[in-house]
Amino acid sequence: MAKDYYATLGVRREASQDEIKKAYRRLARELHPDVNPDPATQERFKEINAAYEVLSDPQKRQMHDMGGDPFGGAGGGAGGFGAGFPFSDIMDAFFGTASAARGPRSRARRGRNATIRVELDLAESGFGTTRELVVDTAILCEVCQGSGAAAGTHPDTCDMCHGRGEVSQVTRSFLGQVMTSRPCPQCGGFGSVIRHPCQECSGDGRVRTRRTIKVRIPAGVEDGTHIQLAGEGEVGPGGGPPGDLFLEIVERPHPTFERRGDDLHCTVQIPMTAAALGTSLTMETLDGAEQIDVRPGTQSGQVIPLYARGVQRLNETGRGDLLIHVSVETPMKLDVEQEELLRKLSQLRGEERPPGKFAPGQQGFFSRLKDAFNGR
Ligand SMILES: [Zn+2]
Ligand SMILES: [Zn+2]
């Protein structure tokens, strides 16, 4: 005999909070006792209120979804204006305005977000890491639990606005008497005054502290990546919910590798003779020392790819590549014997007066880069 509150509001089971609120407001306007005083309508009005009270609260909604009774039997469900009832939403339904301006405002406000910069080296950003971060933040005052009032005392109802949080004023104008209201100057709109502030937090409800938090930084983040840690920011005034903490990643430049996305690029210089005859190099990659084969006849600008030796892809499997750009060094300062040998070689190859090959612009560079990506 559990009620189906989704049916009561006429929304789908997977309706968003926004859809639920809209459906509720539409029905509340239709069924409000001031509009429609007959008993059947009033009964229905109570039901939509109960449905909204449950479905607008994620915890109660989950309980309802699992077939439980979020009211725990007490109050029988159609409680209407219970303690947790979102009165402001009904004001919204009628006046179409945010009712925040009406009635006393809460002392509790959401805490601010905070951002801290985290410097990582390439191996840390590429493969992920765990960091202990020290953050200066505000936490709930344990003495007053956020209320701001000294132990054993309570905020007193403001005697200027009598708890309303606003004061009204009647002024005469050519339209006649006009009533305006403004936030109460004595209590600042809170409707209450803290006469004996908590000594620990001076009435703010929170204290500043230095906290150490351990965070896991996922593999594949890069310079400028923001990581959101929900609820790790500072607690709000008056015991309000905490804001979020954002980590901004700053990547330290690597002495050898330049990172482009998930790929790493570097340049290796080899002598002309080694490029012609082929050679083998030892290179320190992020995975340790690797043997690199330079094939005989390697050209300057050619790219030697090491597949899957780049950084880890963020939130994906697989890694980028490591691309080694070869730069062939032409020998300089030849001694007599070396020059003799080179002249001999150019004679043997018929290269004493080479015509040269002309190619448009950067074409050669780009096609070689493409070859490297295609695995040739
Ligand atoms: Zn306190
Ligand atoms: Zn006041």
CATH number at residue 285: 2.60.260.20
Calculated CA dihedral for residues 250, 256, 258, 263, nearest 10 degrees: -110
Residues 230 and 279 in one domain: no
- The CA distances from residue 295 to 279, 292, 374, in Å, are 7, 10, 18
Q: How far is the CA of 197 from the centre of ligand 1 (A)?
A: 8
Nearest CA to 225 out of 258, 263, 262 is that of 262
139 CA from centroid of ligand 1 (Å): 10
Decide if 228 contacts 248 (C-beta within 8 A).
Answer: no
Q: What mean pLDDT is reported for the chain?
A: 86
Q: Using CA atoms, how far apart are residues 38 and 31, in angstroms rounded to an integer? A: 10
Question: Total domain count for the chain?
Answer: 3
Q: How far is the CA of 238 from the centre of ligand 1 (A)?
A: 9
Tens-place pLDDT, residues 173-206: 766 777 778 889 999 999 999 999 999 999 999 9
pLDDT of amino acid 43? 84
Nearest to 323 by CA among 287, 362, 284, 373: 373
What tokens were used for 126?
């590429």
CA distance 23 to 8: 10
C-alpha 247 to ligand 1 mean position (Å)? 29
Residues 290 and 230 in one domain: no
**Is the domain of 200 the same as that of 308?**
no
In this structure, are 203 and 326 located in the same domain? no
139 and 124 share one domain: yes
CA 147 – ligand 2 centroid, Å = 17
Q: Does 294 reside within a domain?
A: yes
User: What's the gap in Å between 114 CA and the centre of ligand 1?
Assistant: 22
Low-confidence residues of the chain, pLDDT below 70? 1-2, 72-102, 174-175, 361-376
CA distances from 272 to 110, 269, 304, 334, 376 (A): 66, 9, 16, 13, 22
Task: Give me ligand 2 centre to Cα 323, in Å.
Answer: 69
pTM of the full structure: 0.60
Find residue 249's DSSP bridge partners: 118
Boundaries of domain holding 324: 258-333+367-374
Which pLDDT tens digit goes with each residue over 205-242?
999 999 999 999 999 999 999 999 999 999 999 989 99
Ligand number with the minimum distance to the CA of 162: 2
CATH number of the domain encompassing residue 29: 1.10.287.110
